[in-house]
Structure 1
Amino acid sequence: MCHPSWTRALNEAHRLNDLARLRRVRDRIDREYAQPLDVEALARGVHMSAGHLSRQFRLAYGESPYSYLMTRRVERAMALLRRGDLSVTEVCFAVGCSSLGTFSTRFTELVGMPPSAYRREVARATAGMPSCVAKQVTRPVRNREAPAPEPHPA
């Protein structure tokens, strides 16, 4: 029978190993967001099952790997839309989305407006602003949908 301290040490080593693999998955998503990525491929890359990866990723980072990937894609899309030289469809495909409908829906959930409206409204509002400041000001809301607009006093 294993000594309790050995069991604790093994459990801690396993937890640290899982965290390192989760960090590799997150780093891969950050680097390869525009590539076709799915949870199964991400899991294979770190020798985990897709279910285990999804559960552990959510515990570690507060959202699923797919949600994290879509947030990365929307953040990049926001930057491309602020530039103003690409259409919404071109931006959709440039950030790795294969469905304009899914891209628009997720963009709207995170940003609070459709990509076409964002391109019109926010591009004007951030004109002349350094890109690093515009990125901070317009960063999408993580783990939550965009806040509802505040009611205007009557």
Structure 2
Amino acid sequence: MDREYAQPLDVPELARFALMSPGHFSRSFRAAFGETPYSYLMTRRIERAKALLRLGDLSVTEVCFEVGCTSLGSFSSRFTELVGESPSAYRARAHDEGAAVPACIAKIHTRPIRAGRTSGGRAGTGQESRSETPPPPVA
């Protein structure tokens, strides 16, 4: 799912691959990751959209379709819900503060966090919820 985020989500196909029924797969996925397969996929799409918007080469509409969303309205609503600002506002503001940070570290600190998670992070990973604010520099 992480690699094929731009493809449509097919829970029955994923369940067949995992040798489970679709219902059992969805319940097991939620228990492991703290969210449904669809929510997880949308988080990956928004994560990728943020990276594309920071580059500034594509319009918001182009980014929407590039990450696998088929509705600009739904994409904008979900982006705003997860990031706290519209895709246009996110694209318009400066993103220079993270330019010197390695991509793997920036990804951790800019990961969209879904509100309302009961576990406070991903189940079993020890990751706590993070905000958009990067950590203070290490002296």
TM-score by length of 1: 0.67
Which of 1 and 2 has higher RCO (CA within 8 Å, sep 6+)? 2
1:79 alignment partner in structure 2: 51
In structure 2, the residue corresponding to 1:40 is in which secondary structure?
helix
Instruction: Report how many aligned residue pairs link the two structures.
Output: 117
Letter paired with 1:41 = E
Identity among equivalent positions (%) equals 66
**1:3-152 correspondence to structure 2 within 5 Å:** 29-121=1-93, 124-126=94-96, 129-130=99-100, 132=103, 134-142=106-114, 144=116
Pick the structure with more helix per residue.
1
Distance 1:59 1:143 in 2: 17
Distance 1:38 1:101 in 2: 22
Query: How far does residue 44 in structure 1 lie from its aligned partner after superposition?
Result: 2.5
In structure 1, the residue corresponding to 2:3 is in which secondary structure?
helix
Distance 2:92 2:110 in 1: 14
Distance 1:55 1:41 in 2: 15
Structure 2 gap segments, 5+ residues each = 118-129, 131-139
Query: How far does residue 52 in structure 1 lie from its aligned partner after superposition?
Result: 1.0
Distance 1:113 1:128 in 2: 18
Letter paired with 2:91 = R
Cα contact 1:107–1:113 (8 A) shared by 2: yes
The structure number with the bigger radius of gyration is: 1
- Aligned CA-pair RMSD: 2.4
